[in-house]
Amino acid sequence: MIQFHIKAPDKGLEIALQDKIDNLTKPKGSLGTLEALALQVGLIQQTLSPVLRHPVNVIYASDHGIADEGVSKSPKEVTRQVIHNFLNGGAGVCYLARQHGFELKIVDGGVDFDFPVIPQLIDRKVRKGGTRNFLHEAAMTEEEMEKALQYGAGIVTDCYNEGCNVISFGEMGIGNTAASSMWMTCLTQIPLIDCVGAGSGLDSEGVRHKYNVLKRSLENYDGNGSVLDVMRYFGGYEMVMAVGGMLRAAELKMIILVDGFIMTNCVLAASRLYPEMQSYCVFGHCGDEAGHKRVLDFLGAKALLDLGLRLGEGSGSVCAYPILDSAVRMINEMHSFKQAAITKYF
């Protein structure tokens, strides 16, 4: 299995960073979360003057066998249709990426469709048909999981080599809130009923059906309960690729912008494998999907935004990027009391 070498940021610079933040022309602590973010980014980059370069939103896409059980309001073909919309620039995350200066990378990790060669679509298909139906069998083999981790990590290495130091992750795959609910319940021991939500828009009867399918899937599971086994049995290729991407990003000391319910559960899995990776995460938003706040609370994470989002695609993390930018601008562009010749007023 691929190994990562992740170290938490060295805290040796923390006192100097905090002193710089405290001596900017403002009451101490008056910029709240911006101050905490500036400290976090400064520690990640090990500098008193952090910078954000070439932000990228990577969208991993794959189909899910569990979608055959009617756990999503949307049919499986929507996965490939939305990918075309990404490539045509018409999806929700596309306008947000344009607005905030993000490059988009779209990765086919296992969509059940034969795409022609499209330069803007990165082909990393693990298996054409997507994952298997975890109601009856494991979603993927160990070899497929390994390949997905490596592919996901490789995309991030490419981003890093192109000058990126702040990266957002998104996903596309009909049925992936169901897979995420399974990761959440297995890795946190939060009851399944509290992990299951409406996904792309199920009504109450649809949510009840989804829960019953997932309950039966959990009853049928005969694995060893380890993090890797839960990832393999219930995950999607795009989710495992995101875990690999997040771990490589942490290894490269990049800032990781975390999107919604699915990507937060990918952080959950990644941090169970390498706890130090969470030091590199900035949680963009708390969405409307049932269970999202619970998994954030489990991780001890506080999201920057709460806008009722449940689109996925990395939309919430890209939407939160200006707050991160504001934090970095604060530490770099505000004058100190000494520079401004102002008497400290705290």
Residue labelled with tokens 């969470």: 278
CB of 247 closer than 8 Å to CB of 215:
no
Structure tokens at 214: 């997932």
Say how far apart CA 126 and CA 241 lie, in whole Å.
10
- 3-state DSSP percent of the chain in helix, strand and coil, to 5: 50, 10, 40
The answer to whether the pTM exceeds 0.85 is yes
Domains of the chain: 11-49+330-340 (1.10.1610.10), 56-326 (3.40.50.10210)
Residues with active-site annotation? 313
Query: Within the chain, how many helices (H) and strands (E) appear?
Result: 13, 6
Longest dimension (CA), the chain: 70
pLDDT value for 201 = 87
CB 168 within 8 A of CB 257: yes
Structural element, H or E, at residue 144: helix 142-161
Evaluated on CA atoms 175, 177, 183, 185, the torsion sign reads negative
125 vs 110: CA distance, rounded Å:
5
Residue with the two structure tokens 């990790």: 109
| Cα–Cα separations (whole angstroms), residue 201 to 67, 174, 177, 184, 205 | 14, 12, 11, 20, 11
Secondary structure class of 283 (helix, strand, coil): strand
Q: What's the pLDDT score for residue 195?
A: 97
pLDDT attached to residue 180:
98
Q: How high is the pLDDT of residue 346?
A: 73
List per-residue pLDDT tens for the chain, 346 residues long.
899 999 999 999 999 999 999 999 999 999 999 999 999 999 999 999 999 999 999 999 999 999 999 999 999 999 999 999 999 999 999 999 999 999 999 999 999 999 999 999 999 999 989 999 999 999 999 999 999 999 999 999 999 999 999 999 999 999 999 999 999 999 999 999 999 999 888 999 999 999 999 999 999 999 999 999 999 999 999 999 999 999 999 999 999 999 999 999 999 999 999 999 999 999 999 998 989 999 999 999 999 999 999 899 999 999 999 999 999 999 999 999 999 999 988 7
Q: Distance (Å, rounded) from C-alpha 21 to C-alpha 272? A: 32
